[in-house]
């Protein structure tokens, strides 16, 4: 029996939810966030990560040139914001979009992480990280921008990582919104 794309997606969603529930029960003591995919295909990838607390992150190895949509609906400390920004730059993020609380601070943080990655000197043009913040836009407008307005030079950025700094998980909602644009 062949398992189709929809079946695989349902299995991955179930796995992701179970994994999160286990971590909630453990009171955030044993996070193992390998960024469970919400949806993926051979040509592009959508990954959603719910971050209700400031925990270490890593970007999947298969994401080497990608855009990152950063959704901020809870307070995030400066040190943690800088740490996440450095991880994104080192992993190959080429476009970072921030929406929500102090989104301009995230824009600056990714910019500084990029400059620091190259010791504030010259950098390869193809590695430049474009950043935008969307403080006067709705979530829908920002997701639409992420989907359609993030052309990067000659590189087509089909892969997206969504980091959701929120108090409640909303992966299915964000995925549906992104894919419907």
79-99: pLDDT as tens digits = 999 999 999 999 999 999 999
62 lies in some domain: yes
170 lies in some domain: yes
Instruction: Provide the mean pLDDT of the chain.
Output: 80
Question: What HEC string does 120-166 produce?
Answer: CCCCCHHHCCEEEECCCCCHHHHHHHHHHCCCECCECCCCEEEEEEC
Number of domains in the chain: 1
3-state helix, strand, coil in the chain (%, to 5): 40, 20, 40
Both tokens of 110, joined, read 């990714």
63-80: pLDDT as tens digits = 999 999 999 999 999 999
49 lies in some domain: yes
18 lies in some domain: no
94 lies in some domain: yes
From 2-6, 140-144, 165-169, the region with the lowest mean pLDDT:
2-6
pLDDT for 157 equals 87
* 97: three-class secondary structure by DSSP: strand
Strand partners, 44: none
- Provide the domain limits for residue 120: 34-180
21 lies in some domain: no
What global pTM score does this model have?
A: 0.76
3 lies in some domain: no
CB 68 within 8 A of CB 107: no
Beta strands 93-100 and 130-133, pairing class = parallel
Both tokens of 86, joined, read 């450095």
Which CATH number characterizes residue 171's domain? Answer: 3.90.190
9 lies in some domain: no
The CA distance from 49 to 164, in Å, is 6
144-162: pLDDT as tens digits = 999 998 876 677 788 999 9
The CA distance from 27 to 40, in Å, is 29
């Amino acid at each position: 029996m062949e398992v189709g794309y929809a079946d695989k997606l349902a299995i991955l969603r179930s796995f992701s939810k179970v994994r999160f529930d286990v971590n909630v029960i453990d009171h955030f003591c044993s996070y193992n966030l390998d960024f469970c995919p919400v949806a993926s295909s051979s040509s592009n990838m959508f990954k959603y990560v719910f971050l209700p607390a400031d925990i270490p992150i890593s970007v999947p190895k298969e994401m080497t040139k990608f855009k990152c949509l950063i959704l901020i609906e809870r307070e995030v400390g400066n040190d943690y914001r800088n740490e996440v920004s450095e991880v994104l730059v080192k992993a190959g993020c080429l476009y970072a979009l921030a929406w929500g609380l102090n989104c301009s601070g995230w824009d600056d943080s990714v910019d500084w992480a990029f400059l620091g990655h190259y010791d504030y000197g010259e950098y390869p043009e193809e590695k430049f990280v474009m950043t935008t913040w969307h403080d006067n836009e709705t979530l829908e407008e920002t997701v639409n921008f992420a989907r359609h307005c993030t052309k990067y030079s000659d590189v087509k950025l089909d892969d997206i990582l969504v980091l959701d700094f929120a108090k409640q998980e909303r992966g299915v909602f964000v995925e549906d919104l992104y894919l419907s644009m």
